[in-house]
Amino acid sequence: MSRTIARPRAALHRDVYPVGRVSTEFFLRSFEVIGGLHRDVVSCLVIATLWHAALAGPGTARPLGVRELSRRLDLPFETVRRHVRKLVRGHTCLEQSDGILLAPAVQRSARAGAMLRKIYLHAVRMLGELRRIDVASYRPRRASPPSPPRRLDREQTVVVVAAIGVLLAAMKVLRRSFGGDLMTGLVFTAIRAANVKHITNTAPAAHRGILPDTDRLPVSVLAISDSMRVPYETVRRHAGILVKQGKCVRVGRRGLVAPGRTFHRMTIEATAVRQLVMGFLGELRAAGIKT
């Protein structure tokens, strides 16, 4: 009689969990910055993708067609087309015969400059945290001046391009991990980050395994709503989905926790995040930046 022999699960890379902990804050804060460009999540992702294309090839950036945007975002063609039409009507984007571009006025605006500067600072902060847990060695070339210029220099631009690229890739991983519901994934990410925020910036953040539940502090829906700048009812609804799915638990009136058992079930996602971060470092190295 034949029997099935279970194959042992491949060992995770030792940096999977510490990289996940220190990169989570970057993903959340950078998405929050991009989210300030539009009230709709998909429109924000379209804008970010166009920004990435524009910055990656300054002076030579070509328009992106709706089908290409759909492919890059891993979203249905009709969904992307509908949001592109709204952005064109709102003068955020320009439609040309061969695709879509960000409107020049948008690219030159002070608001856009501030957005890119914030993403740069969030990326540098993550690089500092990666250095602290012995995953990277990047050090900024110089301290940022008190009143930064609107335009980024070459190194800052390289960092921003790589940062937006890894952010967009992470959003795709998150959406796939939560059945296509990006907002549920973002709320989960905010909860998991808040649970261990008191540890992320300390030595235990370098712990190579899943942190024990005793180290996780509950967080309220109101606190998540405030940190994400998302309506309370929206967060409450998605938090309820996470509890129903078993990815989060309620701890009495103290709030929500993403328990360790959830991360034991999300090893594929954890590995994917580490690979994205290592790809981010590799892109910086390819551009001549020591990481």
Residue 45 lies in a domain: yes
Burial of 193 (0-12, 13-18, 19+ CB in 10 A): buried
> Rounded to 5 degrees, what are φ and ψ at 192?
-65, -35
pLDDT-based confidence at 59, cuts 50/70/90?
low
Q: Which residues pair with 219 in a beta bridge?
A: 256
Structure tokens at 114: 């501030």
pLDDT-based confidence at 235, cuts 50/70/90?
very high
Residue 205 lies in a domain: yes
**Which of 36-40, 61-65, 202-206 holds the top average pLDDT?**
61-65
Q: Is the pLDDT of residue 147 over 70?
A: no
Q: Is there a contact between 95 and 88 (Cβ–Cβ < 8 Å)?
A: yes
* pTM (predicted TM-score): 0.87
Residue 4 lies in a domain: no
**Structural domain range at position 46:** 16-138+149-286
User: Kind of pairing, strands 249-250 and 93-96?
Assistant: unpaired
> Which pLDDT value is given to residue 8?
44
Q: Is the pLDDT of residue 131 over 70?
A: yes
> Which pLDDT value is given to residue 10?
60
Residue 1 lies in a domain: no
Neighbours of 134 (CB within 10 A): 10
Q: Is the pLDDT of residue 150 over 70?
A: no
Residue 117 lies in a domain: yes
Q: Is there a contact between 101 and 54 (Cβ–Cβ < 8 Å)?
A: yes
Closest CA to 69 of 93, 92, 100, 97: 100
Q: How far is CA 63 from CA 51, 90, 109, 149, 246, in A?
A: 11, 18, 19, 27, 43
Q: Is the pLDDT of residue 14 over 60?
A: yes
Least confident of 53-57, 175-179, 203-207: 203-207
Average confidence (pLDDT) over 183-198: 93
Looking at the 3D structure of the chain, how many domains does it have?
A: 1
Cα(184)–Cα(182) distance, rounded to whole angstroms? 5
Residue 9 lies in a domain: no
Cα(151)–Cα(154) distance, rounded to whole angstroms? 10
Residue 72 lies in a domain: yes
Q: Is the pLDDT of residue 142 over 70?
A: no
Q: Is the pLDDT of residue 54 over 80?
A: yes
Percent of the chain residues topping a pLDDT of 70: 89
Higher pLDDT, 41 or 258: 258
Average confidence (pLDDT) over 157-174: 95
**Which of 8-22, 25-39, 50-64, 182-196 holds the top average pLDDT?**
182-196
Residue 24 lies in a domain: yes
pLDDT-based confidence at 149, cuts 50/70/90?
low
